[in-house]
Amino acid sequence: MSLKQKVLLYASLSLLLTLSLLALGTLTYLLLENKSRASRFYDRIVSAFVNTQSLIKEEEPLTRFLKTVDFINAVLETRSVLFLDKRFVPEELLEGKLVVSGYIVDPKGVSDTKLITALLEIELYGTLGPIYKPMAVARYPLGDDEKPYGFVYFIKPIKHDLTLIAFLLAYPLIAVGVASFPVYRLVGRLVREVNFIKTLSQDFSKNQFSRLELLRKNLRETKEKNDEVYELKLSILKMMEALEKLLLKTTKEKIHYETMALTDPLTNLYNRRVFLEVAEKELSRAKRVGSPFSILLLDIDDFKRINDTYGHDVGDVVLKRVSETLRRNVRKMDLVARWGGEEFIVMLPHTNLQNAYKVAEKLRRLVENLRVKLPGGEEINVSVSVGVSAFKGHKRLEDIIKEADLALYEAKRKGKNRVEVFRESLTLERPEGS
């Protein structure tokens, strides 16, 4: 159940409880008020009897009693029902009269038999009818207390101020509604904020930070800057910014380490492992579709002498300059890698042996024209020897590389700074250390 649904449920239960308490309070009020008014009504009847009977000059008690009842009815705007004990009434007077529980009834305009019967349940005073629209009833005896021979019931509707009761009922409801409105708005805001934070957390779990600017804008436009929700969003913003920086740093480090794993740290060329992986794929493609590709194997001439004469720092500079020259002067599809030591290898896709020779010769001339400046201002020349081989239905990549190596050895043997293409006659094993 969502937060909003819970609040609506609690509000409904609170409203139901409020209505129940209001109904109970109103019922209690009406019961007490009806009882109080019935008591006061009885006191007025008794007072009216005492005062009225002293004014009526009639010798016959029953006649005087009946005149008193009529007078009270007129003055107090009541209705009355007279009950006479039939034991005290002559037989000839009983004929045609309404008799209830041993009493002759004179309803005095009251025609409701159920009401007449219900009157007998009231011994002194009380109410009849619905609680919100009752009738006050007062009983007065006919005769003395020791020997009553009848009694009269006076009836008068109790008029409650329904407007006041309605106000008393409506006021708490209005108060609850007015008090609930800001609560409802607050809950609505909380629900919106929770949904917004939920969306942020979902992006956050996916390492996505596209909503960071939206969160910053939300914080700028928030009016309540001292509550817990604002502080929570501010904490989330700081956390996401810190994580974004951390992920950016981690990504850069990952790229750096991946680059280190794929490239030679000195020359920034691909290393032997990458070259072999890519070349194996190219060999598979060449076997499948029959497309040509060639391999160049290059070796810097007299590199040991350069290191011994000028030091390894100069040797590193030479390696960098040669690798840069090779990388800049091949096609994008070609792959240049450091093969090891002062050796470089180049893969030329879609290139036959003849064109591979032309590329090798171009690279050899470019290296030959290099001038490597030393820290003291002196310049030295550099050259490379190149062996060229091409795919001719080979089954293994190492066979093609071996052929390029044999061609390179032949270029070294013939005086260096030259290009040699593999021929079938080059079957000599390359001596170790050459």
Please name the helix (run of DSSP H) or strand (run of DSSP E) that holds residue 305, with its range, or none: helix 303-310
In degrees rounded to 5, what are phi and psi of residue 213? -65, -35
Q: Are residues 223 and 210 in the same domain?
A: yes
Q: What whole-number distance in Å separates Cα of residue 259 and Cα of residue 263?
A: 6
Mean pLDDT throughout 66-78? 86
Predicted local distance difference test score (pLDDT) of residue 221: 72
Would you call 8 exposed, middle or buried from its count of C-beta atoms within 10 A (0-12, 13-18, 19+)? middle
Q: Are residues 79 and 97 in the same domain?
A: yes
Of 123, 144, 160, the position where a domain reaches its end is 160
Q: Are residues 295 and 218 in the same domain?
A: no
Instruction: Decide: helix, strand or coil at residue 71.
Output: helix
In tens, the pLDDT along 220-230 reads 777 776 777 77
- Tokens of residue 351, six digits: 């290139």
Q: Are residues 125 and 148 in the same domain?
A: yes
Quick check: is 288 in a domain?
yes
Instruction: Decide: helix, strand or coil at residue 270.
Output: strand
Q: Are residues 280 and 195 in the same domain?
A: no
Residue predicted with more confidence, 55 or 256: 55
Mean pLDDT throughout 97-114? 78
Q: Are residues 294 and 408 in the same domain?
A: yes
In tens, the pLDDT along 296-313 reads 999 999 999 999 999 999
Residue predicted with more confidence, 370 or 262: 370
Residue 434 has pLDDT above 50, yes or no: no
Q: Are residues 51 and 131 in the same domain?
A: yes
The whole-angstrom distance between residue 102's C-alpha and the CA centroid of its chain comes to 80
Quick check: is 203 in a domain?
yes
Residue predicted with more confidence, 11 or 133: 133
Q: How many domains would you assign to the chain?
A: 3
Predicted local distance difference test score (pLDDT) of residue 433: 45
Sheet of 384-390: strand order equals: 335-340, 343-349, 293-300, 384-390, 419-421
Of 107, 131, 160, the position where a domain reaches its end is 160
Q: Which residues contact 218 (CB under 8 A, 6 or more apart)?
A: 196, 233
* Torsion sign (Cα): 354, 359, 362, 367: negative
In tens, the pLDDT along 157-169 reads 988 777 766 766 6
Residues 298/346, Cβ–Cβ less than 8 Å: yes
Quick check: is 408 in a domain?
yes
In tens, the pLDDT along 271-284 reads 999 999 999 999 99
Q: Confidence band (pLDDT; 50, 70, 90) for 266?
A: very high
Q: Are residues 30 and 78 in the same domain?
A: yes
Residue 409 has pLDDT above 50, yes or no: yes
Q: Are residues 235 and 351 in the same domain?
A: no
Q: Which residues contact 126 (CB under 8 A, 6 or more apart)?
A: 35, 38, 137
Of 132, 160, 188, the position where a domain reaches its end is 160
- AA identity, residue 218: N
Q: What whole-number distance in Å separates Cα of residue 231 and Cα of residue 219?
A: 10
- Tokens of residue 214, six digits: 């939206």
Mean per-residue pLDDT of the chain:
82
Residues 110/135, Cβ–Cβ less than 8 Å: no
Instruction: Please report, in angstroms and rounded to a whole number, the separation of the first and last CA atoms in the chain.
Output: 81
Residues 86/102, Cβ–Cβ less than 8 Å: yes
Which CATH number belongs to the domain containing residue 381 in this structure? 3.30.70.270
Quick check: is 426 in a domain?
no
Would you call 253 exposed, middle or buried from its count of C-beta atoms within 10 A (0-12, 13-18, 19+)? exposed
- Tokens of residue 341, six digits: 């030591």
Quick check: is 240 in a domain?
yes
Q: What whole-number distance in Å separates Cα of residue 266 and Cα of residue 243?
A: 33
Least confident piece of the model among 169-183, 208-222, 286-300: 169-183
Report the range out of 42-46, 181-185, 287-291, 347-351 with the highest average pLDDT. Answer: 347-351
Quick check: is 264 in a domain?
no
Mean pLDDT throughout 152-158? 89
In tens, the pLDDT along 416-429 reads 999 999 988 776 55
Predicted local distance difference test score (pLDDT) of residue 164: 67
Q: What whole-number distance in Å separates Cα of residue 397 and Cα of residue 297?
A: 13
Mean pLDDT throughout 388-407? 94
Quick check: is 228 in a domain?
yes
Residue predicted with more confidence, 398 or 149: 398
Domain housing 322? 272-421
Q: Are residues 226 and 295 in the same domain?
A: no
Residue 378 has pLDDT above 50, yes or no: yes
Q: What whole-number distance in Å separates Cα of residue 324 and Cα of residue 336?
A: 10
Q: Are residues 60 and 136 in the same domain?
A: yes
In angstroms, what is the C-alpha Rg of the chain?
A: 59
Quick check: is 431 in a domain?
no
Q: Which residues contact 84 (CB under 8 A, 6 or more apart)?
A: 103, 104, 106, 142, 149, 150
Which residue is listed with tokens 């609505």?
188
Partners of 336 in beta bridges: 346
Residues 373/381, Cβ–Cβ less than 8 Å: no
Residues 252/258, Cβ–Cβ less than 8 Å: no
Q: Are residues 382 and 289 in the same domain?
A: yes
SS3 content of the chain, % helix, strand, coil (to 5): 55, 20, 25
Q: Long-range contacts for 247-253 (Cβ within 8 Å, ≥24 apart)? A: 247/207
